[in-house]
Amino acid sequence: MKQGFFEITENLPLTDTVYRMVLSGDTSAITSCGQFVNIKLDGLYLRRPISVNDCEDGRLTIIYKVVGKGTEQMSRMQSGKLDLLTGLGNGYDTSLSGNAPLLLGGGVGVPPLYMLAKKLKAEGKSVTAILGFNTKSEVFGEKEFSQVADKVIVTTADGSYGVKGFVTDAMNGLDYSYFYTCGPEPMLKAVYSASNSEGQFSFEERMGCGFGACMGCSCKTVTGYKRICKDGPVMKKEEILWEK
Amino acid sequence: MGKMSVDLCGITLDNPIIPASGTFGYGYEFAELYDINMLGTFSFKGTTKDARFGNPTPRIAECSSGMINSVGLQNPGVEKVIGEELPKLAKCFSKKVMANVSGFSIDDYVYTCEKLDKCDQVGWIEVNVSCPNVHGGGMSFGTTPEASAQVTRAVKSVTTKPIIIKLSPNVTDIVSIARACEEAGADGISLINTLLGMRIDLRTRRPVVANKMGGFSGSAIFPVAVRMVYQVSHAVNIPVVGMGGVSSAEDVVEMMLAGATAVEVGAANLIDPFACKTIIEQLPTVMEKYKIDSLKEIIKGVR
């Protein structure tokens, strides 16, 4: 983990509520895809954890949805500096992917899978990505994923774009060696049930610190209590205990 | 002794800065970021007789200049703390650590304190009689002078190390509770624990934290903490460790003027993992600015 200031170089809407922010700064602590950053914002006490969409040579991209005060404030920033904690969380382990990994993202669970898709592709794997949204106006990322994945399927719950239904509807019938997923918990549960291979899930929780100190985001797993921020956010399928 | 050193119950601290329990784990996460031997000491994660998962999530809520937590004393239990956490800590911290203990019965407190009292690494035992998170648990001890004194006496009878009783601010008369602890043999008092708070999500109309209520901390509570440290330190003759919303070197000086011998820093560590390091580095400048030659001279120095 590192703490540092990042310069905002771009901050543009991708949909009505989802924005992409590009920052420049010291990204050396970001060592794995699926990690997150924790952002300090003026006038707000707790930092805001946001997943890393892409990271290369001091250029960091995050994609976030405006859901409250913090993200609303972020959406209005066009320039300036942000205080970030970087390199948080464990990230996805690509060594277990096999030759044909499947990526399943839902809503703002899609962004962290982009850097993962790039890495898997660079490792010579055949990558399929299913990107799930509620409706056509909420779809983003299809073009970017098309450039790094072998096959991209977009689903919308109302059928207004791509395959009608949930990511799990598009998952059935696909051949894959392993899967990686990130999205809202009901989607993760559905993927857990529908999948016929091992895989990794990225979880979300309200966090205090984001680096393992406060025990604010703990969960129970097969192998004991884990902190989503430090021991996660990525957990393997065989570790997961569904509680709620 | 240096300009910043203070004496806390017979043990010299190089400086009065102590990361507060629950915001610093068992130390080693922070040791990855900076040399934690620069701290006065730190108070480790609240430890109980048995392992606890704590409360359901969400456990955290944002507030103006503060936060609510309802972690609920998650910890691996005293045996594992002694067997696993303390050996790990020994690799990155060579000073005496403050052991923080919670319990749900007198026997719990006695059991846990007796075990930790035998650990060389432990310098002080901070007994939390005030955690507001556990239904029917710690809260009841800290809310009356009698129960607080009962815990103090029981723990003192099985320990040799200094016992610091950590008090809750969620009481009608904190001074009478502090006096009762002193009479029962406490070697020090620390305060304040978190203030009981609550937030409600307007969209869902549900409390933000799953446990409905939780402990409110952060810079918003600093004035309450200064007031209570002032009241208690002027009513007892044992050292007072002040905490509650401290987030700068100026806050430390203010807390010491109010009557604190040492100062714990809590929520600030969660927002800025380098908060304590920064405070310690800035103290000399702040001391110079306010013409303070030695920190111990300003304890209870408010006029």
Q: How many CB pairs under 8 A join A and B?
A: 91
Give me the residue from A40, A209, A217 closest to B57, CB to CB.
A217
Using CA atoms in the order A127, A133, A139, A143, what is the torsion angle rounded to 10 degrees?
0
Q: Is A67 on the interface with B (CB under 8 A)?
A: no
The arithmetic mean of pLDDT across residues A155-183, rounded, is 95
The answer to whether A128 touches A100, Cβ cutoff 8 Å, is: yes
Residue B1 domain-assigned?
A: no
Provide the domain limits for residue B169.
6-298
Torsion of CA A74, B69, B201, A233, to 10 degrees: 60
Which positions in chain B touch A215 (Cβ < 8 Å)? 22, 25, 45, 54, 59, 71, 74
What are the chain A neighbours of B23 within 8 Å (beta carbons)? 209, 213-214
A159's tokens = 């059928």
Residues in chain B within 8 Å Cβ distance of A3: 272-274
Interface test with A, best of B23, B47, B59, B202 (most A CBs within 10 A): B59
Residue B165 lies in a domain: yes
Tens-binned pLDDT, residue by residue, of chain B (303 aa): 689 999 999 999 999 999 999 999 999 889 999 999 999 999 999 999 999 999 999 999 999 999 999 999 999 999 999 999 999 999 999 999 999 999 988 999 999 999 999 999 999 999 999 754 444 544 578 899 999 999 999 999 999 999 999 999 999 999 999 999 999 999 999 999 999 999 999 999 999 999 999 999 999 999 999 999 999 999 999 999 999 999 999 999 999 999 999 999 999 999 999 999 999 999 999 999 999 999 999 999 999
Would B33 be classed as within a structural domain?
yes
CA distance A153 to chain B (A): 32
> Is the per-residue pLDDT at A166 higher than 50?
yes
> Which pLDDT does position A172 carry in this prediction?
86
d(CA A58, CA A29): 10
Sign of the torsion angle spanned by Cα atoms B29, B96, B222, A81: negative
Residue range A94-200, CATH number: 3.40.50.80
Is residue B187 assigned to a domain? yes
Alpha-carbon gap: A204 to the closest alpha carbon of chain B (Å): 10
Give how far Cα B283 sits from Cα of A30, A204, A223, B98, B279, Å: 32, 38, 44, 22, 6
pLDDT in tens, A63-93: 999 999 999 999 999 999 999 999 999 999 9
Distance from CA of A69 to the nearest CA of B (A): 10
Closest CB from A208, A211, A218 relative to B54: A218
* DSSP SS3 for B17: strand
- At the topology level, CATH places domain A2-88 in Elongation Factor Tu (Ef-tu); domain 3 (2.40.30)
Judge: A216–B269 Cβ closer than 8 Å, yes or no.
no
CA atoms of A70 and A128, how far apart (whole Å): 33
Cis? peptide before B58, omega within 30° of 0 = yes
Q: Residue A132 phi/psi, 5° resolution?
A: -110, 140
- Domains in chain B: how many in total? 1
Residues near A9 by beta carbon (within 8 Å), at least 6 away in sequence: A22, A23, A24, A59
Does residue A118 sit in helix, strand or coil?
A: helix
A29 and chain B: CB distance < 8 Å anywhere?
Answer: no
Q: In angstroms, rounded to a whole number, what is the distance separating the alpha carbons of residues A231 and B102?
A: 25
How close A205 gets to chain B, by Cα (Å)? Answer: 7
Radius of gyration, alpha carbons of chain A = 17
Residue of A nearest to B65 (CA): A45
Query: Quick check: B53 and A225 in contact, CB under 8 A?
Result: yes
The pLDDT, as a whole number, for residue A193 is: 95
pLDDT of residue B139: 54
Chain B interface mutation, best of A86, A215, A226, highest count of B Cβ atoms under 10 Å: A215
Closest chain A CA to residue B27: A213
Strand spans (E) along chain B: 6-8, 11-13, 17-19, 60-63, 66-69, 97-101, 122-128, 163-166, 188-191, 195-198, 213-217, 240-243, 262-265
| pLDDT of the residue at A244 | 55
B273, A85: Cβ pair inside 8 Å? yes
Structure tokens at A120: 């898997």
pLDDT value for B136: 52
Q: Which of A209, A220, A231, A243 to mutate to test the interface with B (most CBs of B within 10 A)?
A: A209
Q: How many alpha carbons lie under 13 Å from residue A88 in its C-beta half-sphere?
A: 27
The angle formed by the CA atoms of residues A105, A49 and A240, to the nearest 5 degrees, is 55
Contacts of B270 in chain A (CB under 8 A): 46, 208-209, 213-214
The two structure tokens encoding residue B212: 């409905």
Known catalytic residue at B131: yes
pLDDT in tens, A100-137: 999 999 999 999 999 999 999 999 999 999 999 999 99
B284 falls within a domain = yes
Cβ contact, residue pair A1, B273, below 8 Å? yes
User: Which one, of A211, A212, A184, A199, lies nearest residue A240 by Cα?
Assistant: A199
Predicted pLDDT of residue A173: 86
Contact A225 B53 (CB under 8 A): yes
For the domain that residue B221 is a member of, what is the CATH number? 3.20.20.70
Q: What is the pLDDT of residue B1?
A: 60
